[in-house]
């Protein structure tokens, strides 16, 4: 796996397997019904296993993924799991309405400028990236399939077992 050393360009992201963008991007996070901070420096999560999830309020599978991500955060947060869900709605109010119905117990960020969408080559909603403690991309999931949650969880557990 590749390690992140600097902020890559788009061609570097493809060469690095998309993980290169992760530890160098700053996002603005606004508080909702979840853990949040004024700004989020993703490099602070080096040493943690991160699920970076891209979602939107209109995304039907996201309605199923949020309760599952809440469960994973509660179950494995103390072991080093951090879930960061990046919203791609044009209007923050749409995301807020979604979060009232499907509260998040993990970090919510916004990517209105689509910087991360481009850097991670997001194709569908939701798209999730499992990133190891050393910043390497472990898995990429397009969509959310309830029948595969055991597989998703097994990948998280395996990543958590690989301590630095």
CATH code of domain 10-161: 3.40.30.10
| pLDDT tens-digit map of 31-87 | 333 333 334 456 889 999 999 999 999 999 999 999 999 999 999 999 999 999 999
Q: Which of 63, 60, 42 is nearest to 51 (CA)?
A: 42
List all residues 6 or more positions away from 15 whose beta carbon is below 8 Å from its beta carbon. Answer: 8
The single residue of 32, 40, 59, 86 carrying the catalytic annotation is: 59
Question: What pLDDT was estimated at residue 164?
Answer: 54
62 catalytic? Reply is yes
Report if pTM > 0.85.
no
Question: What pLDDT was estimated at residue 131?
Answer: 94
Question: What pLDDT was estimated at residue 154?
Answer: 97
Q: So where are the chain's domains? A: 10-161
| pLDDT tens-digit map of 2-28 | 333 233 333 333 334 444 333 333 333
Question: What pLDDT was estimated at residue 26?
Answer: 32
Long-range CB contact pairs, 26-33, < 8 A, 24+: 27/86, 27/109, 27/110, 27/111, 27/116, 28/109, 28/110, 29/107, 29/108, 29/109, 29/110, 30/92, 30/108, 30/110, 32/95, 32/96, 32/99, 32/104, 32/108, 33/99, 33/100, 33/103, 33/104
Contact 142, 124 (CB under 8 A): yes
Query: Which residue intervals of the chain are DSSP H helices?
Result: 10-16, 60-76, 92-101, 115-120, 149-161
Task: With cut-offs at 50, 70 and 90, classify the pLDDT of residue 120.
Answer: confident
The single residue of 62, 69, 84, 131 carrying the catalytic annotation is: 62
Q: Cα–Cα distance between 33 and 85 in angstroms, integer?
A: 13
Residue 115 in this model has a pLDDT that exceeds 90: no
Residue 142 in this model has a pLDDT that exceeds 50: yes
């Amino acid at each position: 796996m590749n390690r992140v050393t600097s902020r890559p360009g788009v061609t570097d992201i493809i060469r690095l397997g998309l993980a290169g963008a992760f530890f160098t991007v700053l996002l603005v996070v606004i508080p909702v019904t979840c853990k949040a901070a004024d700004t989020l420096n993703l490099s602070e999560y080096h040493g943690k296993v991160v699920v970076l999830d891209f979602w939107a309020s209109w995304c039907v599978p996201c309605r199923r993924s949020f309760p599952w991500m809440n469960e994973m955060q509660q179950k494995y947060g103390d072991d080093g799991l951090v879930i960061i869900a990046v919203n791609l709605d044009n209007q923050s109010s749409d995301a807020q309405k979604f979060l009232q119905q499907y509260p998040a117990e993990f970090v919510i960020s916004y990517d209105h400028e689509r910087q991360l969408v481009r850097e991670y080559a997001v194709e569908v909603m939701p798209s999730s990236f499992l990133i190891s403690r050393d910043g390497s991309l472990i898995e990429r999931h397009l969509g959310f399939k309830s029948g595969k949650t055991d597989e998703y969880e097994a990948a998280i557990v395996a990543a958590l077992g690989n301590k630095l």
